[in-house]
Structure 1
Amino acid sequence: MNDGPSISYDEFRKACAKHRPSELLPFLGRYSAETHGLGGLKSEQLRTLPPWNFATVARECLLWGKDIPGYRVNQRAVARLFNMLRDVTQYEHDPTLAEIVTPVMHDQFPYQGNPYTDMGRAIAILATGWDEFPEWDWTPVFGMSLPQMVRATWVLQGLASMRGRIDLERTWDARIGEELAPREDLERALAYLTRTPEQHRANAVKAGVLRETAGQYDFNPLRSHPLVDFGPGTGIVAPEPRLVWHAISMQNLYYVGPTVFGATEFHEQLGRRIESYVGRQLRLIDGADLMGEVSLDAQNKMSIDWFLVLPDLIVLIECKSARLNAKALAGDTGDMIRTTEIHLAKARRQIDATARKVLQRDQRVRFLPDDDRPIVGIIIVAEAIWLANSGVPEYGSQGETPTMVLSLAELEGLVCLPTAELSSRLATTFTSEERRGWSFTQAFGPGLHAQNNLILGKPGPARSSSTRATKASTPGRY
């Protein structure tokens, strides 16, 4: 909430629309490239010229601006729009904490992610074949394989980050083709990532956000297709260059996959792929014992997905291909609660049911050590749900077993630690009730360096001869 003068989002939108898109968006691209470049985001830049502001201003001008002479475009004009966005009042009622914080976190935090690990994860889960999972062919979408698309997008991201636009005719160098990606791959990737202003507006209509009541955190067509073709003279513009690599993240491809592989098949296999991928990651922990799910009763009620035995504790791990839908991401309380019940609350109940069997020394879990090691739960979700551990009502409460929610990105960093350090620090984290209410990265502390992850470095089946994995119930999982 702002202490200064407040305005409606519609007032901000109308201010953006007074600028000509073919002038403001190229300026935004250049300005963002000059500010952020190819390096990481600095705290001062995040405070004064955050990339999410560039994306929001670009969206409103693109969707509502007219291709007629408009207000002058310069840094002062952009600063005015950014200041207006800061002063927008989002709510007509007294909002809850979750309503305020959920959309802000999910709008801003992805920009601070790691493009290398995000792209590696997309390849490892959505393209690579392993065990019972065939390689997924994304050629119908990109005109090439997903690994080729990732390499090409990486190059385009670099070009966009230098100038805020992409012109292959002027910037092409044969060394790019020799060392990074062939010219034809770049052209195919460019075609996929680019839309005309008219096509962007059509996508907004299809998503239901080209309306005056649409809010700041509703769908932005630049997130799926971050480049804009204004025709001869302006070239291909990247209004916010950091959106280029986001376009082929798992978050975006989740909505593309059903059109290629069929909705039912895609979603069902994605859930199983994520569960198996978590197992592959856990097997990177040197010397740990890892077992898969088992039946808990005569009715064949299944346990959690993975049992991980560490020197200091036993970890019960449940995997969910959970993500907040568009309405929840925009702060809709009802959708947050529904997502929590479907995914997080169910996972907590599964962990509790399994933990009771372990504490009872049930024969179905007799493969676990019979000692006094603490039992904790971890829920792995495909994408970060930033308030999942907070205890705010919309995200549910703790069950009987101390449990935390981790994203795949956090897991990928966790498994890179030496086993003794991982075990002791994890035990310390779960010991603190206060810390269990934080995001896992904040609670665990420094050292989660996923760029060292062997699976992300070379996508494919993990191999670790020193990690002991016992098949529990599902043939071929390993």
Structure 2
Amino acid sequence: MLYGNEHRSRDISRLSIDRLMYLFHESGDLPSAYTTSDDFLLSMLTGITYEQFPWQQSMFEELSRSHAWLVEGLSEVETVVLNEDTLAAMLGGVSLGDAIGATFFLQVAAYKNGGTFDPKWLDRPNFAELLSTYPRATISTITDRLTVTRKRYKESYANHATGIDHLARFDYNPLVNTPFIRMDGSGPLVAPAPSLILKTVTPGGLYYAGMAAHGQDFANDLGTLFEHYIGRQLRTIDGADIFPEVVYGKGGGMKSVDWFVVTPDLVLLVEVKSKRLGPAARAGAAMLTHALKDTIHKARRQLARTVGEIFSENLAFSHIPTDRQIVGLVVTAEPFYTAPADLLGRGLATIATPDGFADIPVAVASARDVEYLVTHGEKAARVVLDQVAAKAEGVLSMNVVPSGRNLILENAWKSYPWPRRQSGA
């Protein structure tokens, strides 16, 4: 797509594709100065993890989170630019729910037709019933939003690529924003990776559209809504007391971590960060270190300051006990796969406490990790304590399997216009 042209006439064979894939996987030409960097291993593994792991995620959580995070908190959180109308404007005038329904239709159509979709197919009689669920105008609007020409595809790559040769394999892929390519003026649209179509209506997929439309105000609103969303999830833990951030200091100029989860056996100090790694950082470019410092390390410092206030017996924190295991938790909107290893390697995976108290381990968890953890209900604290016991001198992992249902996600999922299952199907 990036380097080919329409003047090549020889048909491509399966053997040719296998050869191209081999060359692709062998394409990393790492400069010697890069391999001797202290951050070489972190950078290399970050590129590999972001190339692999996002494809293994269930779309149920990703799509449900769009409504649960971006819409359901609007009535309880004060935002600057983000509301249901501006969200619809980002989607061509289509509501989030209708956009997700139409995008689902497009992904299924592409899968069923070898990665292609032709809008003319909607004229066929067999589409009439589907058009009663997904209006043609909505499908057309979303199709236009997700389609670019080959020229615009290449321009998008040029505008967002790192420009670093040895990171080309892990670089920005324009298909994440516009998964359909218009190859000519009349033929079907081509979707080289149909699984990317639904990702365009996840929070991560909507991020760039929001930033393009509203700039930093959109990012700030996302952060406010995400903090509220994580609080909603934590409140579903049976038997836990959930406290919001503490404002303290002269004139109320200082703030603690965002949430405190107190159970009979555990205290979780939760700092929420909605900022995501950009394409270059995901590819493992030099800015990765700065990005981690600006998000994960910053959150860890906030945890450490809160711990200091708690153990200095600041009366503003008198409701937070110190007679049980305390764990610091940095919650990110999207997974920061290598962040825990980065904390461990830099000696930041624990927070020191006064003599007589156990040092506090620090974990990094994604929104999905929290969504899974809370399904354990009253046993959630035990799950965390088991992870603490298992970590030894290594990384504290919050990657746990779910147990039961997450009603917040289920209710959000039900808000979308999914096709009705036919009786006997």
Shorter-chain TM range is 0.7 to 0.9
Contact 1:204 1:220 in 2 (8 A): yes
Matched residue, 1:150: 100
Q: Distance in 2 between matches of 1:233 and 1:79?
A: 30
Q: Distance in 2 between matches of 1:212 and 1:278?
A: 39
Matched residue, 2:386: 428
Change (3 A) 1:108 1:208: closer
Provide the identity percentage: 27
**Matched ranges for 1:61-460 at <5 A:** 62-93=1-32, 94=35, 96-128=40-72, 129-133=74-78, 135-137=83-85, 138-143=87-92, 144-163=94-113, 164-170=115-121, 173-178=127-132, 180-208=133-161, 215-231=168-184, 234-260=187-213, 262-298=214-250, 300-333=253-286, 335-369=287-321, 372-391=323-342, 397-400=348-351, 401-419=360-378, 421-434=379-392, 437=395, 439-441=397-399, 444=400, 446-447=401-402, 452-459=405-412
Q: Secondary structure at the match of 1:291?
A: strand
Q: Distance in 2 between matches of 1:254 and 1:197?
A: 23
Q: Residue type of the partner of 2:127?
A: D
Q: Distance in 2 between matches of 1:339 and 1:214?
A: 17
The number of equivalent residue pairs is 389
Task: Output the TM-score relative to the length of structure 1.
Answer: 0.75
Q: Secondary structure at the match of 2:340?
A: coil
Q: Secondary structure at the match of 1:427?
A: helix
Q: Secondary structure at the match of 2:376?
A: coil
**Unaligned residue ranges in structure 2 (runs of 5+):** 352-359, 414-425
Q: Distance in 2 between matches of 1:448 and 1:196?
A: 45
Contact 2:162 2:280 in 1 (8 A): no
Q: Distance in 2 between matches of 1:175 and 1:298?
A: 64
Q: Distance in 1 between matches of 2:296 and 2:346?
A: 8
Q: Distance in 2 between matches of 1:291 and 1:433?
A: 27
Q: Distance in 1 between matches of 2:116 and 2:207?
A: 27
Contact 2:237 2:374 in 1 (8 A): yes
> Residues 170-196 of structure 1: CA distance to partner in whole angstroms, max 9, x if unpaired?
365222233x42222111111111111
- Post-superposition offset of 1:246: 1.7
Q: Distance in 2 between matches of 1:188 and 1:307?
A: 43
Q: Secondary structure at the match of 2:280?
A: helix
Change (3 A) 1:354 1:241: same
- Post-superposition offset of 1:226: 0.5
> Residues 95-151 of structure 1: CA distance to partner in whole angstroms, max 9, x if unpaired?
621121101111221111111211121222233423034633223232211221111
Matched residue, 1:45: none
Matched residue, 1:473: none
Contact 1:336 1:395 in 2 (8 A): no
Change (3 A) 1:286 1:265: same
> Residues 404-456 of structure 1: CA distance to partner in whole angstroms, max 9, x if unpaired?
0101111111112221x211111111233348516531xx4x3367xx32222
Contact 2:349 2:395 in 1 (8 A): no
Q: Distance in 1 between matches of 2:165 and 2:293?
A: 32
Contact 2:376 2:403 in 1 (8 A): yes
Matched residue, 1:5: none
Change (3 A) 1:148 1:434: farther
Q: Secondary structure at the match of 1:323?
A: coil
- Post-superposition offset of 1:396: 6.7
> Residues 303-338 of structure 1: CA distance to partner in whole angstroms, max 9, x if unpaired?
1110101232000000111222222111123x1221
Q: Distance in 2 between matches of 1:77 and 1:439?
A: 42
Change (3 A) 1:205 1:349: closer
Contact 1:142 1:149 in 2 (8 A): yes
Q: Residue type of the partner of 1:186?
A: I
> Residues 187-223 of structure 1: CA distance to partner in whole angstroms, max 9, x if unpaired?
1111111111122122223325689787122211111
Q: Secondary structure at the match of 1:352?
A: helix
Change (3 A) 1:208 1:384: closer
Contact 1:391 1:437 in 2 (8 A): no
Q: Distance in 1 between matches of 2:261 and 2:307?
A: 13
- Post-superposition offset of 1:339: 1.5
Q: Residue type of the partner of 2:370?
A: L
> Residues 379-424 of structure 1: CA distance to partner in whole angstroms, max 9, x if unpaired?
11111000111146887722412110101111111112221x2111
Q: Secondary structure at the match of 1:242?
A: helix
